[in-house]
Amino acid sequence: MRDVIVVGAGGGGAVIAKELACRGLDVVLLEAGPRFADPEQDWRHFESDANNPASGYFRFGPADRSRPPWVRELAQSTLFVQLSGVGGTTNHYQGNSPRAAPGVFTDYESADRNNYDLDHLFPFGYRELLPYYEWVEHTLPVETAPMGVKEEIFFRGAQQLGLPVERTKDITRAAFRPQQNAILQPRGNAGRTSDPHRLVFPRADGCTFCGHCSQGCFEPLGAPINLKAKRSTSVSYIPMALTCDHWSRGGRAVTLLADAFATRINTDAQSVARSVTWRVGTTGEILTEEAHVIVLACSTVETPRLWFNSGLPNPNGWVGRGLTDHFVDAITGVMPFDTGSTRGPGCGGRIDFPGVGMLEVVGETPGLRAALSAFSDAGIPGYYDNGLPGGDYGADTVGRLIGTNLKEAMSNVDRLLNIDVFTDDDVEAQNRVTLSSNYPPDEHGAVPRVEIHQRSRSARTIANREFLVQQAVLLLRGLGATKVHRINKPPFVIHSHCTMRMGLSADDSVLDENAEARWVPRLFIADNSALANGIGGPNPTLTTQALATRTAEKIFQRYFGGEPWVGREAPVSSIDPAVTRAVLGH
Amino acid sequence: MLLLSAAMALARATDLLTSRGWIQAAEVVTPDLLHDTFNGLLAFIVPGPDDYSVAQGVSTVEPGGVDEGVTDILIATLDETTPFLPQFSATVAGILNGIALVVNPSPGGTFLSPFACLSFAEKAAVFQIMDGTDSLKPLAGVLPAFVAFFCYSEAAVFDPVTRSLTGHPIAWDISSYQGVSDGRNEFVGYFENRRDVR
């Protein structure tokens, strides 16, 4: 009998495992995908190695790359970006770690309060979450992003729109800002040279501006794993979890099992969670282990799938419902000057429009940039528009970039300025995860089905997205773009939330205010699916990590008789010398 | 994942598509026809100076997808992604060619593939039909992005065994990309010289 079994070692699961292990609990952390223990060996800068949809090391699939990826039914044309493996999708993310919009919590009283999705607020106040944000921001750590060329240009464009700069971590008004990123700031030679001999740790420390966030960060070369620049949980929380018996008084190292796909949560006659069953990928062995508490952190798709496949109760029908994805769009400007689009961190700048959403300046390597430019729901410009509503707002094209449009835009990828649109979208029951009746089950049971009704979103959601698109086009035109392309994307799910949401009302939520399942005692959820809403548009990872930290405290207090620690103790940073010594085995 | 989903949607609708004459049976797609079809698709998404691009009436001086030599990789990846659907690439080719004959029953041209013989506008019409058909919409959505990824990444010269490049990627030339690196001289400072906020 273990104290806690956490299912999923991604952005949320790694956090809750580390926090509880530091309290001395016996924690097992299961991960379906690969281990990723040595980023310098496991990863490369090549897109073909990382991002190949069939065999890339960043996919939702098994560690053995000769085997196909795991199946999901997508009921519509959708790109759903989720990775398996220790670190989960944080291995692929750009480290953006903004706080949520305060307007999505119950204690928000400002004049624009009604601009938010008032029916689906968090079941507690923003002020309650602040200490947990601070704890995570210190642990990762989160730092103010430095500028590359694209950020410098983007900020100039934002100023031309008349926007002020935000100088707090909170969202207080419509404003632009350097991102708060879970990426170590550049020191030494980092960011100042492309000479590989001068980029070895410790001569280079922090972000080297290599431009390969999407292929996984293993820079600077030679750095201990906990000192890699981008703070994916695989290099921050996981090394801490595995060594907390060395640097945390009373801590107990987490038992991490990769290649372990959870297939069932077992309950007793009173519907109390008792054990987890999983399948070992390489051997096919089926194992079951009991625990006092079970935490699901498998993702917004796999957590409801596991719930359904376990036959757990769903009396109000909200398991899997309410998927929010920020109704993403993308606007690309072709600029008459260098933008450094492929250089530096993926995203170092953003504009918040509280109650509406967010714009981010983003850069990618050319293969991903071209693919994203050709991924649209609005047909082919000049030929057909697919009947999709949405204005051009002065953009030259709306739709899929192919043929000479794509060739011309891609002729110099470092003259593109790409702005991604993240909408404050409403929680809607119609957007959901269920089990597929069309696809055969795989070795882990019935496969999930993702259903997103792109063309019948709420009026507020649609209006918010159109406003943000208009602002992005204005910004690019103001900077002198010679061409502006609106892609008008189908569901491009790089942020997903709420499919097992916590909420004020038991009628439309699965979790109570402590992230414990309403109908299954001792079962908690700690991934993005637990979020009550789309947090207003900002990237969700930091908020999920803050919430997971809060949930760890709730578990420790309720089931292990412990005391809370956030606000009472000083957090230890994942780059603390004591952690480094432990990681190095000293 | 998107490819898988597109493949499964297709698998469920094969009978319907066949009854409409929109799909040629995968078994009749020969290797030459397969290559011809995907070359026609590559020219549509990323045109170049090659014969397929010239034939569609939209070509460029700079190299395009056909010149990069990614046709085999494209076909192999389609099949690897969907091992439970034998010859998925042939099924895709069958659809493109089947609908091509609906758009233009006598496309002319010298290629084996009806799709490859279409003009650029006619190829766009093929995608319009696919976009307007529920079972084909996922495929219409993913194919252009899939092809674009292979044309603009290092796929043509990437050796998966050594995980290194066997030559210089044309993709990097046609996108003016400086190539992979462990770092860049790109740091320009902090906004307002501010390294922290409260």
Tell me the average pLDDT across A97-102: 98
Max intra-chain CA distance, chain A? 68
For residue B56 the two structure tokens come to 């569609």
Q: Which residue of A has its CA nearest to B137?
A: A77
For the residues A298-319, what does the mean pLDDT come to? Answer: 98
Rounded-to-5 percentages of helix, strand, coil across chain A: 25, 20, 50
Is residue A491 included in any domain, yes or no?
yes
Q: A225 pLDDT band (50/70/90 cuts)?
A: very high
In this structure, the number of other CB atoms found within 10 A of the CB of residue A250 comes to 9
Strands A432-435 and A448-451: antiparallel
Quote the CA–CA distance of B129 and B124 in Å, as a whole number.
9
Question: Does residue A76 belong to the interface with chain B, where contact is any CB pair within 8 Å?
Answer: yes
Instruction: Report whether pLDDT(A230) > 60.
Output: yes
Q: A523-547 pLDDT, tens per residue?
A: 999 999 999 999 999 999 999 999 9
Mean pLDDT of A508-524: 98
Report the mean per-residue pLDDT for chain A: 96
Q: Is the pLDDT of residue B19 over 80?
A: no
Q: Please state the domain count of chain A.
A: 1
Q: Is residue A286 part of a domain?
A: no
Enclosing domain of residue B80: 2-193
| Segment A258-267, tens digit of pLDDT | 999 999 999 9
Q: B3 and A342 in contact by Cβ < 8 A? A: no
Contact by Cβ (8 Å): A421, A329? yes
Q: What is the pLDDT of residue B196?
A: 95
Mapped onto helix, strand or coil, the DSSP state of residue A504 is: coil
**Total domains present in chain B:** 1
Give the tens place of pLDDT for each residue, B87-118. 889 999 999 999 999 999 999 889 999 999 99
Average pLDDT over residues A80-95: 94
Distance from C-alpha of A133 to C-alpha of A127, rounded to nearest angstrom: 10
Q: Determine which of A147-151, A326-330, B14-18, B187-191 has the lowest per-residue pLDDT on average.
A: B14-18
Residues of B within 8 A of A148 (CB-CB) are: 186-188
Q: Is it the case that residue B122 has pLDDT exceeding 60?
A: yes
Q: What confidence tens digit (pLDDT) does each residue in A421-477 have?
A: 999 999 999 999 999 998 889 999 999 999 999 989 999 999 999 999 999 999 999
- Exposed / middle / buried, residue A255 (Cβ in 10 Å: 0-12, 13-18, 19+): middle
User: Quick one: closest CA in A to B76, which residue?
Assistant: A54
Q: Give residue A144's domain range.
A: 2-251+322-583
Look at residue B45 and tell me if it is in a domain: yes
Q: Which residues of A157-167 are buried (b: 16+ CB within 10 A; e: fewer)?
A: bbeeeebeebe
Within a domain: A358: yes
The alpha-carbon gap from B31 to the nearest alpha carbon of chain A, in Å, equals 21
State how far the alpha carbon of B7 is from the alpha carbons of A72, A211, B90, in Å.
Answer: 11, 33, 12
CA A421/CA A360 separation, integer angstroms: 7
Residue A231 near residue A252 (C-beta atoms within 8 A): no
Q: How far apart are CA B123 and CA B128, in angstroms?
A: 9
Q: A481 CB contacts (<8 Å, ≥6 apart)?
A: A333, A334, A335, A417
Tens-digit pLDDT profile for residues A465-501: 999 999 999 999 999 999 999 999 999 889 999 999 9
Residue A54 pLDDT level (bands cut at 50, 70, 90): confident
Look at A181-190, A278-287, B129-138, B142-151 and tell me which has the smallest mean pLDDT: B129-138
Residue A21 lies in a domain: yes
What pLDDT score was predicted for residue B9?
A: 61
**Neighboring chain A residues of B171 at a CB cutoff of 8 Å:** 366-367
Count Cβ neighbours within 10 Å for each residue of A409-426 and write b for 16 or more, e otherwise: bbebbbbbbbbbbbbbbb
Q: Which residues of A touch B45 (CB under 8 A)?
A: 374, 402-403, 406
Cis amide linkage into residue A186, ω under 30° from 0: no
Confidence of residue A77 (pLDDT cuts 50, 70, 90): confident
The whole-angstrom separation of Cα A280 and Cα A259 is 6
Residue A399 · residue A376 · CB < 8 Å? yes
A150 part of contact set with chain B, CB < 8 Å = no
Q: B4 and A404: CB-CB below 8 Å? A: no
| pLDDT (tens digit per residue) in A552-569 | 999 999 999 999 999 999
- Give the mean pLDDT of B185-191: 98
Q: CA A557 to CA A467: how far, in whole Å?
A: 45
In a domain, B79, yes or no: yes
Placement of tokens 């944000």 in the chain: A133
Q: Reply yes or no on whether the pLDDT at A369 is more than 80.
A: yes
Helices (H), A167-294: 237-247
Identify whether B198 is part of a domain. no
The whole-number pLDDT of residue B82 equals 74
**pLDDT for residue B10:** 58
Residue B11 pLDDT: 60
pLDDT at B80 over 90: no
Give domain status of residue A139, yes or no: yes
